[in-house]
Amino acid sequence: MGDHDIETDLRERIARSAFHSWVGMELVAAEPGRVEIGLDAAEHHLNLQGTLHGGMIATLADTATGLAVRSMVPAGSRHVTVQLDVHYLSPGRAGHVTAVGTTVRVGATIAYAEADVTDERGRLLARATATVAVTADRG
Amino acid sequence: MGDHDIETDLRERIARSAFHSWVGMELVAAEPGRVEIGLDAAEHHLNLQGTLHGGMIATLADTATGLAVRSMVPAGSRHVTVQLDVHYLSPGRAGHVTAVGTTVRVGATIAYAEADVTDERGRLLARATATVAVTADRG
Amino acid sequence: MGDHDIETDLRERIARSAFHSWVGMELVAAEPGRVEIGLDAAEHHLNLQGTLHGGMIATLADTATGLAVRSMVPAGSRHVTVQLDVHYLSPGRAGHVTAVGTTVRVGATIAYAEADVTDERGRLLARATATVAVTADRG
Amino acid sequence: MGDHDIETDLRERIARSAFHSWVGMELVAAEPGRVEIGLDAAEHHLNLQGTLHGGMIATLADTATGLAVRSMVPAGSRHVTVQLDVHYLSPGRAGHVTAVGTTVRVGATIAYAEADVTDERGRLLARATATVAVTADRG
């Protein structure tokens, strides 16, 4: 698939997903090995200390790394995240948040990807790493 | 605080939280060093493959480990998760999901906690580990 | 293989290994899904603060988790650790140190195992988690 | 301390360390927030599959991240690694191996650093992340 097709494919996946609509995530950009996700963090995404909940940051990182791997594997294959490690570096606030997922290595059965989550001023809120299993579709 | 007070305190924290209501998490039980969180996983918690989204599992694990640490530190102190590592072991489905967070070590400034996320049949969906920074409140 | 054969097989592997002899690790016990490794930590295993070097703890954890997975897969297959996460909980000193690796889930291509590293008084020095890729031997 | 002093300080630390001599690690370069460690990987650093043992890679990553943090904190303070996550990306062989540790965030009590471990052809063998606790010396 070309870059345009990849972005179209991922955009359709997210549009079909009740989860992504409910959370409020949108696909900002996609090319092979790099996917950018956006979220307008609102009050209900914050914890009691008024900062972006760690689970939301993990959700963004999981989505960005998973789709980055998705953008690098054949259309018929499946990807399943087996491990996600998130390092929280600065507290996030309400406002626009971006997660950029990039693949570092995509092997035949295992992929490794990373994500940076930043706020609208470009401050790094979290850095995440993910191990993703890739399998040929059994369908 | 006694066990009853800890549970009451955490229950009030969650009740005040727009995030927890929005996600649908509830506190099931709490005692010093152990906190159980429940979620009735619905369609909007699932990814496109029909399984519980990794971000939701991370949210449950983050909440359970954070509150388990919370249950072990003085009332005036703050806890901030600095690192969360989630291992996804089996796909989750719609239905009741439980996360049990337990503290393994709570030091003066750093705590280490773990969480098991299981489905309603007791199947282990994920195991998570968390590093939590503890600081005296500056308020 | 029976338990005895597994222990014999792993013992021979370690005896053939220049690495394990050089480090000073020995196999203490093995059964399917559980492997215990011992090390007499000496001065040259310590860091400048006089505590067991984090790299040695990681080495013990990596070995214990890898061999625990090894004990659960067919003789002809290969196991490769793709990710190791170590949480350091207490400083170790010179003296006998034990690492017990246990498998939590062994799938067709991915396994998940954990290790506890303890000192001779049973104090928990570190807890580790590992993601291990399992493949049929191409030989 | 200036860059030269940092390198001198770290070089003396490593020279005093029986562990580093025994392993065969040497300090290649150091500046604030970036430390490069070298190792000539020999037969006794390899596992039975003939590849660089995961414990050695973790040792290099632990050392590089720890010293990178060390290069950024006041002389009288202590640094203790509380968590190390290593992603193994390609098998290493005998030959020169380099680990470069860099700090991403150094706070008052918690630091976050990363390390890349590469072989002599520049191939990325592993990427690691570390959480390091920083405390004022009690001495």
Check residue A13 and give its pLDDT: 85
Tell me: the pLDDT tens digits for B42-78? 999 999 889 999 999 999 999 999 999 999 998 889 9
Closest Cβ–Cβ partner in D49, D81, D91 for C54: D81
Helix (H, G, I), strand (E, B) or coil at B72: coil
For the CA atoms of D30, D33, D34, D35, the dihedral, rounded to the nearest 10 degrees, stands at 50
pLDDT below 50 — which residues of chain D?
A: 139
Residues of B in contact with C87 (CB under 8 A): 112, 129, 131
- Pick the residue of A88, A97, A134 with the most B CBs within 10 A to test the interface with B by mutation: A88
ipTM (interface pTM): 0.95
Which helix (H) or strand (E) is A81 found in, with range?
strand A77-88
Can you give the three-state secondary structure of chain D, one letter per residue?
Answer: CCHHHHHHHHHHHHHCCHHHHHHCEEEEEEECCEEEEEEEECHHHECCCCCECHHHHHHHHHHHHHHHHHCCCCCCEEEEEEEEEEEECCCCCCEEEEEEEEEEEECCCEEEEEEEEEECCCCEEEEEEEEEEEEECCC
Closest Cβ–Cβ partner in C83, C109, C135 for A131: C83
Tell me: the pLDDT tens digits for B13-51? 888 899 999 999 999 999 999 999 999 999 999 998 899
Q: How far apart are CA D66 and CA D112, in angstroms?
A: 10
* Rounded mean pLDDT, B85-92: 98
β-pairing verdict for A77-88 and A95-106? unpaired
Q: How far apart are CA B62 and CA B47, in angstroms?
A: 19
A139 vs A134 pLDDT, higher one: A134
Nearest CA in chain D to A105: D89
The topology under which CATH files domain B3-136 is Thiol Ester Dehydrase; Chain A (3.10.129)
Check residue C1 and give its pLDDT: 60
A8 contact D CB<8A: no
A124 contact D CB<8A: yes
Distance from CA of D17 to the nearest CA of A (A): 30
Which residues does C5 contact at the CB level (< 8 Å), separation at least 6?
Answer: none
Total CB pairs under 8 A between chain A and B: 102
A83 vs B138 pLDDT, higher one: A83
A80 contact B CB<8A: yes
B129 and C129 in contact by Cβ < 8 A? yes
C85 contact D CB<8A: yes
Tell me: the pLDDT tens digits for A94-121? 999 999 999 999 999 999 999 999 999 9
pLDDT below 70 — which residues of chain C?
A: 1, 137-139
Check residue A139 and give its pLDDT: 43
In this complex, which chains have at least 3 CB pairs below 8 Å with chain A? B, C, D
Check residue D1 and give its pLDDT: 60
Confidence check: pLDDT of B139 > 50: no
Check residue C139 and give its pLDDT: 43
Domain ranges of chain B: 3-136
Residues of A in contact with C110 (CB under 8 A): 82, 133
Check residue B136 and give its pLDDT: 79
Check residue A24 and give its pLDDT: 96
Check residue A75 and give its pLDDT: 84
Positions of E strands within B4-94? 25-31, 34-41, 77-88
D129 and A131 in contact by Cβ < 8 A? no
* Rounded mean pLDDT, A62-89: 95
Distance from CA of D136 to the nearest CA of C (A): 14
D42 contact B CB<8A: no
Core vs surface per residue D101-116: b (16+ CB within 10 A) or e: bbbbbbeeebbbbbbb
Q: What is this structure's pTM? A: 0.95
Of D3, D72, D67, nearest in space to D35 by CA: D67
- Pick the residue of D81, D82, D85 with the most B CBs within 10 A to test the interface with B by mutation: D82
Nearest CA in chain D to B83: D131
D87 and A129 in contact by Cβ < 8 A? yes
Confidence check: pLDDT of B1 > 70: no
Residues of C in contact with D58 (CB under 8 A): 54-55, 58-59, 62, 84, 86
* Rounded mean pLDDT, B88-114: 97
Which helix (H) or strand (E) is C81 found in, with range?
strand C77-88
Check residue D139 and give its pLDDT: 43
Interface of A with C in 53-72 (CB under 8 A): none
Check residue B130 and give its pLDDT: 98
Closest Cβ–Cβ partner in B17, B56, B85 for A48: B17
Closest Cβ–Cβ partner in A89, A114, A129 for D112: A89
D88 and C80 in contact by Cβ < 8 A? yes
